[in-house]
Amino acid sequence: MSDFPALETQRLLLRELVAGDAPALFAIHGDAPSMRWYGVDPMVDVRQAQKLIETFAGWRKMPNPGVRWGIERKSDAMLIGSCGLFKWNRGWQTCTVGYELARSARGAGLMSEALSAALAWGFEQMMLNRIEAQIHPDNAASLKLAHGLGFVQEGRAREAGYWQGERHDLLQFSLLRKDWRLA
């Protein structure tokens, strides 16, 4: 995975996040109401966004690498979010998916489009058998997205998350290669 695996869909370019994306990423991650389900506290300055870009880039250099794509809307070249595959266990052929989208880009099916490309890449290029997602029980939009992509709910991890000074239950979902082919 030395070269970044850029992906293209009808409306989107999934590309490497670069330093110049920090202001756009900060705008998304600094939006406290939008980030209430993300699993970390909202950002308070753009330096945190710069560090996050470096962290995502570092994933590819780890023994079990992950990939985080910036989601760019082709129509206006705006960075509207990111999505990625991380916690890759090569032996078990599993990983976890994560994503976020700017408030202004929601409701148009853009994350479904982006994740469809990312999940296909994970199954085809990473040779994954299972992709997991952990979603807050009150995150209706993410629950709808996961179901729409074919993810199956497996259970509830009690108090598995901790952010904004509170413990949060998370619902465990998975998508198997055999089910992806049917979708």
Span 34-45, pLDDT tens digits: 888 887 888 999
pTM: 0.91
Q: Give the pLDDT band (50/70/90) at residue 183.
A: low
Decide: 58 and 31 in contact? Cβ < 8 Å: no
Q: For domain 7-180, give the CATH number.
A: 3.40.630.30
Q: Residue 139 gets which letter from DSSP?
A: -
Mean pLDDT of 110-138: 97
Cα gap 61→57, rounded to integer Å: 8
Give percent of the chain above pLDDT 70. Answer: 97
DSSP H helical ranges for the chain: 22-29, 46-59, 110-125, 140-148, 177-180
Residue 53 has pLDDT above 60, yes or no: yes
Give percent of the chain above pLDDT 90. Answer: 79
Q: Give the pLDDT band (50/70/90) at residue 1.
A: very low
Locate the domains of the chain by residue range: 7-180
- Output the pLDDT for position 182: 61
